[in-house]
Amino acid sequence: MDTTPAPSELVALEQLACDLALEAGRLIVDERPDRLGVAATKSTATDVVTVMDQRSEELLRTRLEQLRPDDGLLGEEGGSRQSRSGITWVVDPIDGTVNYLYQLPAYAVSVAACVGDVSVSGGWRPVVGAVVNPMTDELFHARQGGGAHLRHAGRSAQLSVSNQTDLALSLVGTGFGYDAAKRRKQAALVGELIDQVRDIRRAGSAALDLCSVGAGRLDAYYESGLNAWDQAAGRLVVTEAGGVVVGRSGGAPDADLVLAGSRALVDRLAPVVDARPLG
């Protein structure tokens, strides 16, 4: 069921997404154990989970069960619930977990409310989203038709993507997966791109990279191997800031490829990125 909530409900959902992301953001900073270790690993030995990823997701799951019992849930650390309302919350309790483990201040809590079937590539879309970087005290948020905003130090600013159209003058963000063979392919694509752009940035959090595109801090961003929770909220920040987010060959953004930026830059970057499947 793909029904956009009414504008008044979108406002309430956006506020809830912001409140939840802020609360989980405080938790992962205030309650970080002094000697934080790796609680578990997932796809590879470098794909780590900390106890704070688990606690942050537990907090989000509990709050949503209390406040929105009919909504569904899809969380990175395994939280899932079928939707009865048509809304499914897609959450990443800590995006940029390796940065969090190393205390690099570039990690985020990402919370999005989506319509459609989140288990189907291209079968869903975010209608509200919030991304908090608790270390920089920045809250990026958006709702469908309501624009994208950055709240920082008590002030709020409307966001818009950069108007850079020249690929050679573009600052492009990207990332690498946890599988070594895949990383080699991803590095080869960076090698091909490096002399066609201004420079490359690798921040370590897809949610923050997408928000950087929305804020014009990056001209474009692309990555393969992302899950729905890595891209859901950030994707809406980009589109509500006037940009586009696509997948391979202009399709829906999914695990195969997420490519974001202004229409002009995405059209120039796509032929290079599309030509190198990284699966």
Residues found near ligand LIP in the complex (CB under 6 A): 76, 92, 95-97, 175-178, 204-206, 223, 230
Residue pair 73/80 in contact by the 8 Å Cβ criterion: yes
Give residue for tokens 């038709």. Answer: 145
Residue 90 vs 206, nearer CB to ligand LIP: 206
Closest approach of ligand LIP to the CB of residue 4, in Å: 27
Residue 79 vs 204, nearer CB to ligand LIP: 204
Closest approach of ligand LIP to the CB of residue 12, in Å: 27
Do the strands 258-261 and 220-223 form a parallel or antiparallel pair, or are they unpaired?
antiparallel
Sign of the CA dihedral running 76, 141, 216, 24: negative
Closest approach of ligand LIP to the CB of residue 227, in Å: 7
Closest approach of ligand LIP to the CB of residue 14, in Å: 22
**In the complex, residue closest to ligand LIP by CB:** 175
Residue 10 vs 213, nearer CB to ligand LIP: 213
Closest approach of ligand LIP to the CB of residue 17, in Å: 18
Residue 164 vs 212, nearer CB to ligand LIP: 212
Residue 92 vs 138, nearer CB to ligand LIP: 92
Report d(CA 203, CA 101) in Å as an integer.
Answer: 14
